[in-house]
Amino acid sequence: MTTPADASSKSARPAAKLALEDGTVFTGRAFGHRGTTEGEVVFNTSMTGYQEILTDPSYKGQIVTMTYPLIGNYGINPQDVESKRPHVAGFVIKELSPVASNYRSNKTLDAYLAENRIVGIEGIDTRALTRKLRIGGSIRGVLSTEVLDDAELVARARAGKQMTGADWVQAVKPAANYGWDETQGEWGLGKVERGEGLHVVALDCGAKSNILRHLAERGIKVTVLPPDTTADEILRHKPDGLFVSNGPGDPAALDYAVKPIKDVLPTLPTFGICLGHQLLGRAIGAETYKLKFGHRGGNQPVKNLDTGRVEITSQNHGFAVDRAGLEANGGVVTHVNLNDGTVEGFRHGTLPVFSVQYHPEASPGPHDAAYLFDAFVEMMKTKVAPTGKRLAELQAMRDTAVAGGV
């Protein structure tokens, strides 16, 4: 399907402005919804996958800047979504593609953002913005097509909500328990570790759909609960394992989610991803802290300390687990980020617990780490956290299965 990206020419679009709390103002052209929005301004280095990024609940409260210069060229389709709707506070790009061409596309990015009331701006120098965020760190901003007075916009940015201490999980959590049985379908990665007869309770802090698809793909029964549940409610479902999902905001503000996790850790094999990794770290006694500008993109290098192997990973987070506190409380660091040395994964020394900061389910991004779901299935069977040697074996098996198409 090939369609115009917008019926109007770029020159006919109204002006839009992005103002930062440090006083910087970028002027560009509006697309998507017309209005005013605020949030923490961050950047993502993925070259593709804008639809999955828009619908990732972990971006709640954030204005996302794409570093790749041309966005929107393959449009929007109803399959490649990570939740029911976009969650970004705003969307910043260099150039909106003049055509949306893909056989699966059913609408343009411009129309999709307008339909979901997401404000977008194009035509600004995204390289300059990204450089500013890398040097100074992610900061508050206001994006508007209505208010075009620089001083007023900067003042509003300075009065905006800080990400530190923010609980955005309440804005994206499910209203009630639900079951999940959708698999990866035609996008499956071949032969996987089977988990028929196993039952996982997943705490949905803003879970991406592809995580749940990976669990269902392995034949696991999946019951999803809100994160503000109790240990008794988790155990009432008689699960074989607990999964803790990704999500937005500051993990230090989520004691209500940490408590039930802490209560079940001694008896229930547990796997966490992203925010779930941070919550597991806090549950065993470690602290978390805010990163300068975070890790967001599909090309983040992570080293497995047990094997020496490097994985290229998909990431989206602005907080990290403190290594010293983690190791002091029984955590064994298994993965580190090669760009800044931060903790990207750990297992517990005695409990059946492991987690990673990055996204092994990808969507978007590489599939180097999909074997970790196989490790979770095996841990539920053995009640023992995977060793470095076993992770290497599972990764080799996954590579062979993908290469052989089985």
Residue 211 in this model has a pLDDT that exceeds 80:
yes
Cα separation, 31 vs 20, whole angstroms:
19
Q: Are 17 and 25 in contact (CB under 8 A)?
A: yes
pLDDT band at 187 (very low <50, low <70, confident <90, very high): confident
Give me the pLDDT at residue 35, please: 98
Cα separation, 92 vs 64, whole angstroms:
6
Residues annotated catalytic, as ranges: 274, 359, 361
H or E element that contains 94: none
Q: Provide the residue count of the chain.
A: 406
Give me the pLDDT at residue 402, please: 62
Strands 15-20 and 139-144: antiparallel
pLDDT band at 310 (very low <50, low <70, confident <90, very high): very high
What Rg, from alpha-carbon coordinates, does the chain have? 21
| DSSP E strand boundaries for 220-339 | 221-225, 241-244, 270-273, 288-304, 310-321, 331-337
Question: What mean pLDDT is predicted for residues 315-340?
Answer: 97
Cα separation, 22 vs 337, whole angstroms:
29
Give me the pLDDT at residue 7, please: 43
Q: Which stretch, 44-58, 172-186, 298-312, 386-400, has highest mean pLDDT?
A: 44-58
Q: What percent of the chain has pLDDT over 70?
A: 96
Which domains does the chain show, CATH number per domain? 12-158 (3.50.30.20), 169-404 (3.40.50.880)
Which residues have C-beta within 8 Å of that of residue 11, sequence separation ≥ 6? Answer: none
Cα separation, 342 vs 87, whole angstroms:
27
